[in-house]
Amino acid sequence: MKLFFSNIVTSFLNIVMPGRCLQCGRIVYGKSALCATCFSKIYFLARQGCPRCGRPYDLPEDEGMVCPVCLTKPPVFHTLRSAFIYNKFSRELILPFKHADRTDMTPFLGNLMYQAGHDMLEKADLIIAVPLHPRKLMKRKYNQAALLAHYLAKKARKRYLANTLQRIINTKTQGHDNAEQRKQNVKGAFYVKNPKQIAGKRIVMIDDVYTTGATLNECAKVLYKAGAQNVDCLTIARVRG
Ligand SMILES: [Zn+2]
Ligand SMILES: [Zn+2]
């Protein structure tokens, strides 16, 4: 009965205060959602692609086979999963969440990430976000990866560990750098404050976008050095690669 009334209240609220599509502003049913047109433009990645890095590629008969990139140069982390491909459309969807205070998008993006990575989240002991340098955090006011990590930890009923992995170098924004420049840029940028909290733990690292993997690989490197048993990564989006 209680549920029945709460459904009526929700329906009523949707009529008097309709939700808006997070991308185009069109009226939609429910809060924190996309309209059907915008939704259809997303290239979802759940359950396809390379079992290591999630790169979309047609798997041969043997489903356990990794992509050619991981075969020649396996990532430092164990597995990466992303909710969707980073392209022109998804870039516009993510940018306001990153830079324009659209923190209300956290549940929408977090739920899509949960769908893509619930297997790794279930096995995890700790959820950690890629940290921002304190100076950058002051400027931006919030760390978008930390919002998602906190949301996902709550949803998966796991421990969210803040402040243990720290960014000690305020690296420059990596916009147009190539893979090697990005790798050099983040080298030595991270530090584990209390390795005891990491030792023997299965960790899921959360970030917004995976491009060359330089940041997540560098984080995984220091976490493994601190004794982590396993480091997986979960992002909103990844480049097709
Ligand atoms: Zn829309
Ligand atoms: Zn791969």
Report how far ligand 2's centroid is from the alpha carbon of 145 (Å).
23
Tell whether the model's pLDDT for residue 62 goes beyond 90: no
Q: Which ligand is nearest to the CA of 39?
A: 1
Average pLDDT on 114-122 reads 96
Q: Tell me, in angstroms, the distance from the centre of ligand 1 to residue 91's CA.
A: 14
Q: Is the pLDDT of residue 17 over 80?
A: no
The DSSP result for the chain, as a single string, is -HHHHHHHHHHHHHHHS-EEBTTT--EESSSSB--HHHHHT--B-TT-S-TTT-------SSTTPPPHHHHHS--SSS-EEEEEE-SHHHHHHHHHHHHS--GGGHHHHHHHHHHHHHHHHHH-SEEEEPPPPHHHHHHHSS-HHHHHHHHHHHHHT-EE--SSEEE-S-PPP-TT--HHHHHHHHTT-EEES-GGGTTT-EEEEEEEEESSSHHHHHHHHHHHHTT-SEEEEEEEEE---
User: Which ligand is the nearest neighbour of the Cα of 20?
Assistant: 1
Give the pLDDT mean for 162-186: 87
**Over the stretch 146-171, which tens digit does the pLDDT of each residue have?**
999 999 999 999 999 999 999 999 98
CATH of domain 42-238: 3.40.50.2020
Confidence at residue 172, expressed as pLDDT on a 0 to 100 scale: 80
- Which ligand has the minimum distance to the alpha carbon of residue 78? 2
| Mean residue pLDDT across the chain | 89
> Is the pLDDT confidence value at 58 over 60?
yes
Does residue 7 surpass a pLDDT of 90?
no
> Which ligand is in closest contact with the Cα of 56?
2
- Cα–Cα distance between 105 and 101 in angstroms, integer? 9
Q: Is the pLDDT of residue 32 over 80?
A: no
**pLDDT the model gives residue 95:** 94
Q: How far is the CA of 80 from the centre of ligand 2 (A)?
A: 9
The pLDDT of residue 171 is: 85
Is residue 182 scored above 80 in pLDDT?
Answer: yes
Q: How many angstroms is it from 69 CA to the middle of ligand 2?
A: 6
Share of the chain above pLDDT 70, in %: 90
pLDDT at position 18 is: 72
State the pLDDT at residue 12.
57
Write out pLDDT tens, residues 189-232.
999 999 999 999 999 999 999 999 999 999 999 999 999 999 99
Q: CA 106 to CA 184: how far, in whole Å?
A: 31
Q: Residue 46: its pLDDT value, please? A: 64
| Domain definitions of the chain by residue range | 1-37, 42-238
